[in-house]
Amino acid sequence: MSNGALGRRTVLAGMGAASAAGALAACGSSGGSGGDGKLEFQQWWEPELPEGFLRELMDEFEEANDGITVELLSGPYAATKEQLIAGAASRTMPDVLGLDGAWVNDLASQNALGDLDQLMSDASYDDADLAAKVEVDGATRMIPVVNFAYMLFANRTALGKAGIDALPTTREEFTAAAKAVVDSDPDVAGWVLPLSLEAPNGVQNDVMSWLWADGQSMLAEGKPALESDAVQGVLDYIVELDEQGLIAPGSATLKEQDKVEEFSSGRAAMIVDTVAHVNMFRTNSPDLDFQVAAMPTGADAAGTPGVTYGSWGIGVAEASENKEAAWKLVEFLMGEDVNARMATAANAFPGNSTAVPEAVKEDDVMKTAFDVWQSGTPVNEFVGLPVAEQLMREFAEQLQKTLEGSQSVDEALAAAQEAWTAEL
């Protein structure tokens, strides 16, 4: 054999081996952690819970379930979402998934989420205690572990200075309170409306919460119904607040954390916010005297008021080789005691309807919030919708245009309806 031929063979063999190694490395595992009883649990919760809390729960679970170990894959919310979307495509998802309701439809359409009804049935699990289940195409894909109710937060000091003693219960009272606040101190805004396009969940939490509080809907038979009188009434009301100068400036780029900052610093008298921030307000602004209440209602209010909520949901990957063990972990987290502890640690309300978090027994604000939660119907119409974030963004763009004065409410709703119809 000539040197040249030998050389070519060696080079090609070397390149081939290296390429194969690279290709194998790129492929990674084929979903979850294999069938050795080791579960991967990806979520964004661990950084948001007290340090070590979730790991302690996992240790408890491992102790109660011999042979199963749980590896927590934790990261920020946005990174978790991107990794799950990418993982769904490459079939490299972890076994158990922390989910936001806004992602469920898209992940389910990628056939990435397992059928929890089937897993519950296999395990003979009674789902009567589950506060909610999120279904796509007739099968449960997500179970809310803890719920973050959104309601009205009011700075009692600012309202008191403006001569307002009681928290508003109607839109008229809200306008009057906001106006009184702004009149008494022009440096304090009546309300904050975050409409950043980076994280457009202000549409869900701060706009649609008015609609849902009235028991109204943005959908009709699963299709957009944005040109209804009820939705128009909400937008007319927001425009009215804006025209009166009662909304904090800079809405178009404000995010949720900006809203929270405005409120905790005393620059805004009222916001719509999640009860998860109660402890943060107390820690960061010990002098802030605030209370929560149900969302003020409008003239269209009918039936049981809706309470906007977001969730830390949980699901099981369709590609998991450990579905049985994965379900055991879900069942463990939904147990009455564990779920109550999770809710207490997260400042949220439990996904198990029989669980009662400790905080509501001891804390006046949390007790009021829990009463509001229990007296209303949890509602979030974006949960389970496809491209939910994009729907919010499209609505936010139209509302931004309206608040800038470049189009009317009618035009905004017609444009949003057209955009949503194309998506749904």
Beta carbon of residue 401, minimum distance to another protein (angstroms, whole number)? 6
Percentage helix, strand, coil for the chain under 3-state DSSP, each rounded to 5: 50, 20, 30
* Contact letters for another protein, residues 350-389 (x by CB under 8 A): -------------------------------------x-x
Among 56, 82, 362, 410, binds another protein (CB under 8 A): 82
Among 73, 176, 252, 414, binds another protein (CB under 8 A): 252
Beta carbon of residue 56, minimum distance to another protein (angstroms, whole number)? 31
- The DSSP bridge pattern shows strands 223-224 and 377-379 to be unpaired
Of 311, 327, 325, 312, whose CA–CA distance to 115 is shortest?
A: 327
Residue 3 found at the interface with another protein (CB under 8 A): yes
Which two tokens mark 225? Answer: 């119904």
State the DSSP string of 391-413: HHHHHHHHHHHHHHTSS-HHHHH
Of 119-127, 148-156, 244-252, 347-355, which segment contacts another protein by CB under 8 A?
Answer: 244-252
Terminal alpha carbon distance of the chain: 67
- Measured distance CA(7)–CA(142) in Å, rounded: 57
* DSSP designation for 40: E
Residue 111 found at the interface with another protein (CB under 8 A): yes
State the DSSP string of 89-144: HHT---SEEEE-HHHHHHHHHTT-B--HHHHHHHTT--GGGBS--EEETTEEEEEE
Residue 171 found at the interface with another protein (CB under 8 A): no
Among 39, 68, 72, 88, binds another protein (CB under 8 A): 88
Beta carbon of residue 6, minimum distance to another protein (angstroms, whole number)? 5
Of 130, 156, 145, whose CA–CA distance to 354 is shortest?
A: 130
Residue 47 found at the interface with another protein (CB under 8 A): no
Beta carbon of residue 262, minimum distance to another protein (angstroms, whole number)? 8
Residue 138 found at the interface with another protein (CB under 8 A): no
* Binding positions for another protein, 182-241, rule CB under 8 A: 195-200
Which residue, 14 or 163, is less far from another protein as judged by CB? 14
Residue 24 found at the interface with another protein (CB under 8 A): no
Of 28-36, 106-114, 124-132, 160-168, which segment contacts another protein by CB under 8 A?
Answer: 106-114
Residue 22 found at the interface with another protein (CB under 8 A): yes
State the DSSP string of 268-325: EEEEEEEGGGHHHHHHH-TT--EEEEPPPB-TT--SSPEEEEEEEEEEEBTT-S-HHH
| Size of residue set near another protein by CB under 8 A | 47
To 10 degrees, what angle do helices 53-64 and 323-334 make? Answer: 120
Of 278, 151, 154, whose CA–CA distance to 210 is shortest?
A: 151
Beta carbon of residue 81, minimum distance to another protein (angstroms, whole number)? 8
Neighbouring CB atoms inside 10 A of 337's CB total 9
Residue 85 found at the interface with another protein (CB under 8 A): yes
Which residue, 65 or 83, is less far from another protein as judged by CB? 83
Among 33, 45, 46, 81, binds another protein (CB under 8 A): 81
Residue 15 found at the interface with another protein (CB under 8 A): yes
* Contact letters for another protein, residues 392-411 (x by CB under 8 A): -x--xx--xx--x-x-----
Residues in contact with another protein by CB under 8 A are 3-4, 6-8, 10-11, 14-15, 18-19, 22, 26, 81-82, 85-86, 88-89, 106, 109-111, 195-200, 248-254, 267, 387, 389-390, 393, 396-397, 400-401, 404, 406
